[in-house]
Amino acid sequence: MKDIKKVFVSVGQGSQYRGMGYELYKHNNIFKSSIEESETIIQKHLKRSLIEELYAANDTKFDDLLITHPAIVAVEIAMYEVLKSLGILPDYILGNSLGEFAAGVVAEIWNAKSAIEASIIQAKCIEKSGIIGKGGMIAVIDQEQLLDKNSFLAYNLYLASNNFDGHYTISGLNDDLENFQNFLKKQNISFIRLPVKVPFHSPLIDKSLLDFKKYLSVFGSIKQQPNQKFISGLKCTEVVVISDDYFAQVVSKHINFSKSVDYIQGKGDFLYIDIGPSGTGSTFVNYNLKNTHNYSKTFSIMSPFKKENEKLIELQEILKANNSYVY
């Protein structure tokens, strides 16, 4: 496949873990410098160390929204900076949920500092509302589609996202989630409770985001027209104008990842490069590409297996072989 076009994919809450990007932080000066810039911003606003939280903390749990929110954005921005330094630039950008913050940096909707600060303010607004710890999210894995797709409604839950056939995310309050999980166990349906203590992508956080919307309305750092082809995970299409409350909607409204991939695939074959920390984006894309006639591929760099430097070399070799290295 010659001259393959590239899509950068960034994802949000649930993809985080301590140590994400550690090999790059140790061995790649571009990545380290970007993380250090984010560290300065986070120290200013939270009086906490991003670097210590990522690479020195002993606690394996990593679900404190005040630090995980900006941490995910910071790591994805740093990964983008590394790729840019290698001359690897996207033809399209696809952000998913909080991943749209980093995608916005790639598309030059705002700069890295603005994206990090906005993620912190959003987390603070959500914390102030008191919703943290009262709800969460679960990923349901029902590839044989044995379950009624609307069964969660009986448990006062919400469909947060459609990821791929037989895989979707449910959001809601803790007691309701527990009851639904017990139901899933009885039905022998697999599920994963995500490391998220907020019912994102549901009406339950609408009030939590009112102050954040006010912040965005006077923010003044959002460029309403992206400089690059920006595929909105929220709208499932290319967006050329960004509304003032867009970055509130991306974490509160239902998202359909499958529909976004379908939209991109309608434009041809692509190499989807996951700039997220865990490979979630490439996994979701890969499942959406199954059983379709295409030559698209996926590639992830960061993962808990800490093979980032090897993966970067592999990616460069793939792009050179396809005459698609530097744009």
Q: What is the pLDDT of residues 73-132, one digit of tens each?
A: 999 999 999 999 999 999 999 999 999 999 999 999 999 999 999 999 999 999 999 999
Greatest extent of the chain over all pairs of C-alpha atoms, in Å = 53
Asked if 181 and 209 sit in the same domain, the reply is no
CATH code, 148: 3.30.70.250
The verdict on 141 and 234 lying in the same domain is no
From 147, 162, 193, give the residue that closes a domain: 193
Question: Please, what is the Cα angle at 278 between 275 and 282, to 5 degrees?
Answer: 60
4: confidence class by pLDDT, cuts 50, 70, 90: confident
Residue type, position 57, single letter: A
Report pLDDT for 1. Answer: 44
Question: Which of 148, 167, 193 is the last residue in one of the domains?
Answer: 193
Same domain, 108 and 251: yes
Domain count, the chain: 2
Same domain, 81 and 51: yes
Q: What is the CATH number of the domain that holds 221?
A: 3.40.366.10
Q: Are residues 185 and 212 in the same domain?
A: no
79 is a domain residue:
yes
Shared domain for 31 and 145, answered yes or no, is no
Residues 42 and 56 in one domain: yes
Q: Can you give the pLDDT at residue 143?
A: 77
| pLDDT, tens digit (0-9, with 9 covering 90-100), for 7-16 | 999 998 888 9
Q: Which of 10, 15, 38, 97 is catalytic?
A: 97
231 & 294 share domain? yes
Which tokens go with 31? 């990545």
Same domain, 119 and 141: no
Choice between 295 and 10, residue whose per-residue pLDDT is larger: 10
Percent of the chain with pLDDT over 90: 81
Q: What is the mean pLDDT of residues 236-241?
A: 93
Domain identity same for 117 and 60? yes
pLDDT in tens, 201-211: 999 999 999 99
Q: Is residue 286, in this structure, part of any structural domain at all?
A: yes
Sign of CA dihedral 106, 108, 110, 113: positive
Q: Is residue 261 domain-resident? A: yes
Reported for 87-90, long-range contacts at CB under 8 A and 24+ positions apart, including other chains, are 87/325, 87/326, 87/327, 88/6, 88/273, 88/315, 88/316, 88/319, 88/325, 88/326, 88/327, 89/6, 89/327, 90/6, 90/7, 90/8, 90/228, 90/273
Q: Are residues 107 and 181 in the same domain?
A: no
- pLDDT, residue 229, reads 93
Judge whether residue 220 has pLDDT over 80.
Answer: no
Q: Do 249 and 286 belong to one domain?
A: yes
Q: What is the token pair recorded at 236?
A: 């499932």
* CA gap 208, 190 in Å, rounded: 31
Q: Is residue 326 part of a domain?
A: no
Note if 97 is an active site residue.
yes
Q: What is the mean pLDDT of residues 193-205?
A: 95
> How does pLDDT run across 124-157, given as a tens digit for each residue?
999 999 999 999 999 999 977 778 878 999 999 9
Domain edge (last residue) among 153, 170, 193: 193
Domain around 309: 5-130+202-321
